[in-house]
Amino acid sequence: MMKHYTLPNNDRIPVLGFGTWNIGGGMSPDYSQDERGVAAIRAALETGYRHIDTAEMYASGHTEALVARAIRESGIPRQQLFLTTKVWHTHLRYDDVLRAAEGSLRRLETDYIDLYLIHWPGSVPLAETFRALNRLHAQGVVRHLGVSNFDLNLLKRSQALCHSPIVTNQVPYSLHHREYARNGVLAYCRENGILLTAYTPVEKGRVAHDPLVQEIARKHNATPVQIALAWLVQQPGVIAIPMSQNPRHIEENFRAAAIELDEEDMERLEGAA
């Protein structure tokens, strides 16, 4: 069974989720890629992923619709899944947040979102945005709230404005990209029970070319990408959301959570930045 963290209301969030950026298009829909995208999400579900990460910005909402279709076709009950989606930075006014959430719920074909994030900081005062987010949480439409791409100051302000615990800050974090470790966010998250969700965790495959990672991979009879993911999710308070549309890579990524790196492996990788 996939390792997980237990959230304040006893919901469980797996340490590995399936990212969906570029499935069904980039900033706009590419309907010609629908079958490939649905097949990738279904492959992830069939492999065992139960946390799916998406956003209203992905393919202008089309990705959310493909997630819903893949779930429907998989036959997996909604209550067994943990769905994360995000409100875009142009929709952070009070009424816009409520409309954005309604749109995501409709496209995802669900009556609740497990985790709803502010995708990027915007120009709207955070207090106005959180007034809407707190309402959605109080209504039960959103079970958990979080942020993405927030620096330490914005994260602290979000904590003060949020009526429920901030569950995560989703940021770029990987073996060679450690800005959020250097800027104090990672340490603050650990001290305050906030998960750090690492996106682009394998640097679009570039991490596989690192000689140290390759060496440790041989030791564990694993792929370098698996080692890079294992290094992340063995850290306290860190989860990761790799994405791939290749069924073999989807399965390899999923199995990374079962790899047990020893103390020496972790220390050597820690020093590899």
Domain range summary for the chain, segments of one domain joined by + = 10-205+229-260
Strand partners, 170: 148, 197
- C-alpha to C-alpha distance for 138 and 140, rounded to whole angstroms: 5
Kindly report, residue by residue over 45-100, the tens digit of the pLDDT: 999 999 999 999 999 999 999 999 999 999 999 999 999 999 999 999 999 999 99
What is the pLDDT, as a whole number, of residue 168?
98
Q: Determine the Cα–Cα distance for residues 150 and 177; give it in Å rounded to an integer.
A: 16
Residue 246: strand, helix, or coil: coil
Decide: 29 and 62 in contact? Cβ < 8 Å. Answer: yes
Contacts of 14 (CB under 8 A, 6+ apart): 2, 3, 4, 49, 50, 51, 82, 239, 257
C-alpha–C-alpha distance, residues 243 and 234, integer Å: 19
User: Could you tell me the CA-to-CA distances from 66 to 44, 52, 171 in Å, in that order?
Assistant: 13, 12, 24
State how far the alpha carbon of 173 is from the alpha carbons of 185, 241, 242, in Å: 11, 11, 11
Identity at 139, one-letter amino acid code:
Q
Candidates 69, 9, 82; CA nearest to 39 is 69
Q: Which CATH number fits domain 10-205+229-260: 3.20.20.100, 3.40.50.2000, 3.30.70.270, 1.10.8.10?
A: 3.20.20.100
- The span from the CA of 231 to the CA of 36, in Å, is 30
273 residues of the chain, pLDDT tens digit each: 799 999 989 999 999 999 999 999 999 999 999 999 999 999 999 999 999 999 999 999 999 999 999 999 999 999 999 999 999 999 999 999 999 999 999 999 999 999 999 999 999 999 999 999 999 999 999 999 999 999 999 999 999 999 999 999 999 999 999 999 999 999 999 999 999 999 999 999 999 999 999 999 999 999 999 999 999 999 999 999 999 999 999 999 999 999 999 999 999 999 987
- The C-alpha angle 77, 79, 84, rounded to 5 degrees, equals 110
92: tokens are 């952070």
Q: Just list the catalytic residues.
A: 58
Residue from 126, 57, 54, 40 nearest 85 by CA = 54
What number of residues does the chain have? Answer: 273
- What is the predicted pLDDT for the residue at 272? 85
What token pair was written down for 177? 């990209």
What per-residue confidence (pLDDT) applies to 273?
76
Chain segment 199-217, per-residue pLDDT in tens:
999 999 999 999 999 999 9
User: In sequence order, what are the residues at sequence separation of 6 or more whose Cβ sits closer than 8 angstroms to the Cβ of residue 136?
Assistant: 97, 98, 101, 116, 142
